[in-house]
Amino acid sequence: MVETARKRIREWQEEGKAHCEAQQRPWVTLAFAQSLDGSLTFAQGQPSALSGEAALHLTHGLRVEHQAILVGIGTVLADNPRLTVRLIKGTHPQPLILDTQLRTPLESHVMHHPSNPPWIFTSIRAAERRRHILETRGAHVIPLVSEPGERIPLPRLLNDLWHRGIRTLMVEGGATVLTAFLEARLLDAAIITLAPVWIGGYHYINKLLISPERQAPGLMLLYHELYDHDLVLWGRPTERQI
């Protein structure tokens, strides 16, 4: 089943090539797990493990099909993820972190990646000394222009990635980052693992996403599959009138 899923995402990426080329940005897949009530985890900053073993294999299969994998600093601090491919054979995607204040811990797993030190996207105002320390430990720190108080501007980030040769990007979370991609309508596919459990925890949509014209980001659901007890939904983005 994972092989079919991998083939499907490859086909979608191939179909989307011309669009991404025109936009000068990578193909973007949002891939994450949520509970029935839309929680990503129990509480912000708590590690999450919502998906079962089969759905985890799918996640690792999808990682192989993307050149880069992105998380926010909140996820690095909460989960200390490795962002590698472990459950199946394949090449590790390049790990990327959004981190305007350069809080990535030196001892975090991602700083000890087996092949690809992380690319840490930050603000041009980030502390020079901290940048130097992270770079001494192997990270590639990339400052992007942003307004004071603004987070990393996603269109600029994606354009930068394009110019660094990244054509396919998997965004794994966490909540704030997923909300930002949805708000900016910067996605080409979403693969959502729905764990059959109610948690009432930390929800991933933390602001209103509806436009003044009452358009909301939605999905054209193209596939749904059971991975043991988890329902995996596959869709392409669309705007829905609410």
Q: Please identify, using beta-carbon distances, which residue of 17 and 172 lies nearer to ligand NAP.
A: 172
Using CB under 6 A, pick the residue from 67, 159, 176, 215 that binds ligand NAP.
Answer: 176
What are the strands, taking DSSP E only, across the chain? 27-35, 39-41, 68-72, 94-98, 119-123, 140-144, 168-173, 189-195, 202-203, 215-227, 230-241
Which residues does residue 231 pair with via DSSP β-bridges, in sequence order? 194, 226
Are 68 and 161 in contact by the 8 Å Cβ rule? The answer is: yes
The total number of residues shown for the chain amounts to 242
Task: Name the segment binding ligand NAP (CB under 6 A); options: 6-14, 68-76, 84-92, 134-142.
Answer: 68-76
Q: Please identify, using beta-carbon distances, which residue of 79 and 241 lies nearer to ligand NAP.
A: 79
Using CB under 6 A, pick the residue from 20, 28, 30, 50 that binds ligand NAP.
Answer: 50
> Mapping DSSP to helix (H, G, I), strand (E, B) and coil, where does residue 20 land?
helix
Using CB under 6 A, pick the residue from 1, 21, 47, 128 that binds ligand NAP.
Answer: 47
Q: Please identify, using beta-carbon distances, which residue of 180 and 187 lies nearer to ligand NAP.
A: 180
Number of residues binding to ligand NAP, judged by CB under 6 A: 33
Q: In what order do the strands lie in the sheet with 119-123?
A: 140-144, 119-123, 94-98, 68-72, 168-173, 27-35, 189-195, 230-241, 215-227
Task: Name the segment binding ligand NAP (CB under 6 A); options: 61-69, 84-92, 176-184, 222-230.
Answer: 176-184
Q: Which residues bind ligand NAP (CB under 6 A)?
A: 32-33, 40-41, 44-48, 50, 71-75, 78-79, 98-101, 103, 151-152, 154, 172-177, 180, 202
